[in-house]
């Protein structure tokens, strides 16, 4: 029987389950614990993670004197959420910025490497002379791109008509060459996605806003001059001990949270006002349930609880990727540095990959980006494979992936000696794809969740794939959950 109990009469703690031990799940647990203390709320928190390791795609490793990142190696600093969290965790003095002497990014075009034009910002130039002098685009391609400054803005009749693919947006504003040779590889380097499917509204909202409010993306960028090219490296940072430093700090601040590593949840049932979780360990009842796992996993687990929500979540697709880390003697790659300076890495357009029979999406020089990543005489190279359209990549054995990555690096970098460290890191279904209609789908999901008491969604599947976005998602999730717990009447 359901009865109502006032907060003052309630005995015993409320129980919260978090499914997913990546950064979103860990920050949610941290915020719940923090806010429960402030509200004098009795809360028992249990976090379930199917793998034996916490942190999700974040993993910082040591090999000899090298710091190796098997997942992301940076976070963006123009979103304050991670910086604020780092300050709370006493990590502010451990933040390291990208080294200022770096030479920006490269792009493979016409069978050779070119520097990305200074001031080019993912989709568009903010400086005209470097763009005009670049050898990446043809003269006709440059002229078409610069016509963007006089092309009328697109008229949007209804909110539902605002969405268009990223590829369509770039072609419409800047032309096909900019899409194929610059925008596509840069976007692929972030989302490992298909520009023809990705929603411009979801992955490039600020560029759409520039078009609508200023009439021209290029003129808006020139007015608010971006100071760095390509991936805007000056806006990125890490920690002195790698991104894994953040995970370690969070874990140190969860002393009374039950962390169930290597414990997969197999089934969820609605029971009374809460949820019954059946895991590898046992069955347990919880008053509140936070799904901090990928949308596909949440869909599978919620199929009995709310079939409509499960169906909606299943529409959010994810791409898989592979990171292969190498450590070379720096002298073995000296020819590239002599030509381009201390570059941070390169992207490879899809058309170039097909024309040259290459497998890599991109590669980066991790030890050029951040200090103290490797001894002075060594350099860490991170090679990236997989993504949308390359779903069979993860089916390959490690030795095959190593061979494919090494063959491409031999062609692109021409090292004089082989690497003396190699390791493959697989990330299946790790990158959500914000495809056309993503914003409308999120609105449907949020409406459905609103009718499912005690259930919360958080993570990269929804409103941002970067680490700061995940932190913000977790912040909002915990705030909403605690606000509902703070109500004066509770149902049992």
Statement: residue 185 has pLDDT above 60? yes
What is residue 159's predicted lDDT score, i.e. its pLDDT?
A: 56
The pLDDT of residue 174 is above 90: yes
**359 vs 373: CA distance, rounded Å:** 26
Please write the tens of the pLDDT for every residue from 222-271.
988 644 444 455 689 999 999 999 999 999 999 999 999 999 999 999 99
Question: pLDDT tens for residues 439-485?
Answer: 999 999 999 999 999 999 999 999 999 999 999 999 999 999 999 98
End-to-end CA distance of the chain: 8
Q: For 51, which DSSP code?
A: S
Please give the backbone phi and psi of residue 267, each rounded to the nearest 5 degrees, phi first.
-155, 145
The pLDDT of residue 158: 54
CA gap 296, 306 in Å, rounded: 14
Mean pLDDT, the chain, rounded, equals 91
pTM as predicted: 0.92
Q: Average pLDDT, stretch 158-183?
A: 88
Question: 246: alpha, beta or left, given left = phi > 0 and alpha = psi -120 to 50?
Answer: alpha
CB 153 within 8 A of CB 212: yes
Whole-number Å distance between alpha carbons of 183 and 20 = 33
Per-residue pLDDT at 391:
83
Specify the pLDDT at position 154. 87
Q: Which residue pairs from 220-227 have beta carbons closer than 8 angstroms and sit at least 24 positions apart in sequence?
A: 221/119, 221/121, 221/124, 221/125, 221/126, 222/126, 222/127, 222/128, 225/119, 225/126, 225/127, 226/119, 226/121, 226/126
Q: pLDDT tens digit string along 348-406?
A: 999 999 999 999 999 999 999 998 999 999 999 999 999 988 888 888 999 999 999 99
What domains are there in the chain, each with its CATH number?
4-55+243-316+434-491 (3.50.50.60), 74-80+91-102+236-241+318-432 (3.90.660.20), 117-229 (1.10.3110.10)
What six digits make up the tokens of 260? 């169930």
Q: Of all helices (H) and strands (E), which one includes residue 381?
A: strand 378-386
pLDDT score, position 161: 57
Res. 11 pLDDT band, cuts 50 70 90: low
* Dihedral angle of Cα 122, 127, 129, 131, to the nearest 10 degrees: 10
Q: How many helices (H) and strands (E) would you count in the chain?
A: 20, 24
CA 267 distance to own-chain centroid: 28
Report, as an integer, the average pLDDT of 83-107.
90
- Report the distance separating Cα 410 and Cα 437, nearest Å: 40
Report whether 285 contacts 15 (CB < 8 A).
yes
Q: What's residue 229's pLDDT?
A: 43
d(CA 443, CA 459): 16
Say yes or no to pLDDT of 342 above 90.
no
Residue 3 has pLDDT above 60, yes or no: no
Between 4-13, 87-96, 201-210, the lowest mean confidence (pLDDT) is in 4-13
Percent of the chain with pLDDT over 90: 80
Kindly list the strands in the beta sheet with 288-291, ordered across the sheet, starting from the edge strand earlier in the chain: 258-261, 43-49, 14-19, 288-291, 455-457
The CA–CA distances, whole Å, from 487 to 6, 39, 125, 312, 474 equal 9, 11, 51, 29, 21
pLDDT in tens, 101-155: 666 889 999 889 999 998 899 899 999 999 999 999 999 999 999 999 999 998 8
């Amino acid at each position: 029987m359901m009865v109502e109990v006032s907060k003052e009469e309630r005995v015993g703690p409320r129980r919260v389950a978090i499914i997913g031990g990546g950064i979103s799940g860990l920050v949610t647990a941290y915020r719940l614990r923090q806010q429960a203390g402030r509200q004098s709320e009795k809360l028992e928190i249990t976090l379930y993670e199917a793998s034996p390791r916490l942190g999700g795609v974040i993993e910082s490793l040591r090999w000899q004197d090298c710091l190796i990142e098997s997942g992301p190696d940076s976070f963006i600093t123009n979103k304050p959420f991670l910086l604020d969290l780092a300050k709370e965790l006493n990590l502010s003095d451990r933040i390291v910025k990208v080294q200022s002497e770096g030479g920006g990014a490269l792009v493979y075009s016409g069978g050779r490497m070119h520097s990305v034009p200074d001031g080019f910002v993912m989709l568009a130039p903010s400086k005209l002379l470097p763009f005009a002098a670049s050898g990446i685009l043809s003269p006709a391609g440059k002229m078409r791109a610069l016509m963007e400054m006089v092309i009328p803005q697109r008229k949007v009749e209804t909110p539902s008509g605002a969405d268009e693919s990223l590829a369509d947006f770039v072609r419409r504003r800047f032309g096909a060459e900019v899409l194929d040779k610059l925008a596509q590889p840069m976007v692929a380097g972030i989302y490992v996605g298909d520009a023809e499917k990705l929603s411009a509204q979801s992955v490039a909202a600020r560029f759409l806003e520039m078009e609508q409010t200023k009439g021209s993306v290029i003129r808006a960028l020139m007015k608010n001059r971006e100071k760095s090219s390509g991936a805007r490296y000056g806006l990125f940072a890490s920690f002195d001990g790698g991104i894994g430093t953040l995970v370690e700090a969070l874990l140190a601040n969860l002393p009374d949270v039950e962390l169930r590593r290597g414990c997969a949840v197999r089934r969820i049932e609605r029971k009374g006002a809460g949820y019954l979780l059946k895991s590898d360990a046992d069955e347990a009842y919880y008053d509140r349930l936070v799904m901090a796992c990928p949308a596909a996993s949440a869909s599978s687990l919620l199929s009995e609880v709310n079939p409509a929500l499960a169906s909606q979540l299943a529409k959010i697709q994810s791409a898989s990727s592979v990171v292969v880390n190498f450590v070379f003697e720096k002298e073995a790659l000296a020819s590239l540095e002599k030509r381009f300076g201390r570059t941070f890495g390169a992207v490879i357009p899809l058309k170039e990959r097909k024309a040259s029979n290459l497998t890599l999406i991109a590669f980066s020089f991790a030890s050029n980006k951040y200090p103290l990543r490797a001894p002075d005489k060594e350099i860490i190279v991170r090679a990236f494979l997989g993504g949308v359209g390359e779903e069979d990549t993860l089916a390959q054995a490690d030795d095959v992936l190593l061979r494919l990555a090494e063959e491409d690096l031999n062609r692109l970098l021409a090292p004089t000696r082989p690497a003396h460290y190699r390791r493959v890191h697989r990330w299946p279904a790790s990158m959500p794809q914000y495809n056309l209609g993503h914003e409308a789908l999120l609105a449907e999901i949020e409406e459905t969740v609103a009718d499912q008491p005690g259930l919360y969604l958080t993570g990269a599947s929804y409103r941002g794939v970067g680490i700061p976005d995940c932190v913000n998602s977790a912040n909002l999730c915990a705030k909403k959950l605690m606000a509902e717990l703070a109500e004066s009447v509770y149902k049992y």
